[in-house]
Amino acid sequence: MGDWQQITGGVTAARGYRAAGITAGLKASGLPDLALILSDVDAIAAGVFTTSHVKAACVDYCRQILQAKHSARAILCNAGQANAATGHQGVKDAQETAELLAKALNIDPNLILLASTGVIGQRIKMDVLRSGIPQVVAALSETGSDAAAGAIITTDLVKKSIALETTIHDASGGLRQRPVRIGGIAKGSGMIHPNMATMLSFVTCDAAVAPTLWQQMLTRAADRSFNSITVDGDTSTNDSLIALANGQSRTPAITEMGAEAEKLEAMLTEVCQYLARAIARDGEGATCLIEVQVTGADDELAARQIAKTIVGSSLVKSAIFGCDPNWGRIAAAAGRAGVPFEQENLQVKLGDFLLLENGQPLPFDKAAASAYLKQAKMGAYLQADTVLISVSVGNGHGTGKAWGCDLSYDYVKINAEYTT
């Protein structure tokens, strides 16, 4: 645990934010489908988006806004239609959405960021959205984070939300400190794979941070969280991580790296990692979370690459689902990660079971190791429902983590029937 404490409130825990989530009628299910997050003042804005060459209109829209200026007031997210691969009309729909919301909020359209999730190839139901925007604006509340978290999900089984608080020295000097808060919500369950995975996440912060520094912090946090999870190897068209920092904590502006910046970035990373783990655990059809920890690599990037390859292996994921402690699949995945290491330095552990050391297989209690997997899947062993795989590849200083889930029969069923 870092130098912070967990608090309630999600994206409205930070000062100067309101949020809302309503049922506008965009989803055929009749479930909530339109979310809004609003800062009381202009906030510094940063974003990390999908690397896919097939991108949703909202992704291109946000990139253009953030390239032109590094500030925003509002984030609007619709669920039900992805508005990806929808051509010129999809672009016009995104632009109209921003203009409609700007008019309802009486702010500049260039202070609005957009996100969409749902079926690729489907435009937003604009007639429904036009009537929904005034409703979601009217519903804005300082306690609206939970409603917003519920309105952005699609195949998710649970809402995903977190808020943390730390303290930063104020401008008067001395020992006086003021609280700073970061909150976040996220959605994601399928089509999850770096870099970015099929997910949406919105983060609010009440610190004052220089735009370039805030973007750098968010990019690093994304690499250590959302870009380190995988469910099924498919990268989405709509992935978006957007973070606002509005300065309403009244703490001194953080303009360069130092002790206070490091503290804030560590808390931002923890918020992102918490949400990333929640997405991985909620993978479609998943029965457990898998965490892979890699040590001994030349650097952090190499270690994360090995970890992501292992946790993304369909064979490893299937073995975990079947409670089969097949360490050979783990070793094979590490070997094909594209990171050179000496085989004789490879070590593999499953939970507390040492399976391979110095590149040599070791005798182990297969029944007990299988029982570890079964108990973890039931949430009854050590780290609740987390299966821990530890891999060492040498004596380097590089360490990294990645998260995923097992691959069950239900994953195929869910995705076979997704649009039918």
- Catalytic positions are 198
Can you tell me the distance from the alpha carbon of 100 to that of 114, in angstroms, rounded to the nearest whole number? Answer: 12
**What is the C-alpha R_g of the chain?**
22
- CB count in 10 Å sphere of residue 79: 27
State whether residue 381 is helix, strand or coil.
Answer: coil
Phi then psi dihedrals of residue 381, to 5 deg: -125, 125
Greatest Cα pair distance, the chain, in angstroms, is 69
Structure tokens at 332: 């094979």
Q: Note whether 82 and 120 are within 8 A (CB).
A: yes
Cβ-Cβ contacts under 8 Å for 140 (sequence gap 6 or more): 18, 19, 20, 36, 38
Tell me how far the alpha carbon of residue 203 is from its chain's centroid: 10
Q: Which residues of 85-101 are buried (b: 16+ CB within 10 A; e: fewer)?
A: ebeeebeebbeebbebb
Can you tell me the distance from the alpha carbon of 86 to that of 404, in angstroms, rounded to the nearest whole number? Answer: 31
Can you tell me the distance from the alpha carbon of 48 to that of 201, in angstroms, rounded to the nearest whole number? Answer: 10
Cβ-Cβ contacts under 8 Å for 241 (sequence gap 6 or more): 47, 48, 49, 196, 199, 200, 201, 203, 218, 222, 226, 272
Structure tokens at 223: 């690499």
Tell me how far the alpha carbon of residue 24 is from its chain's centroid: 25
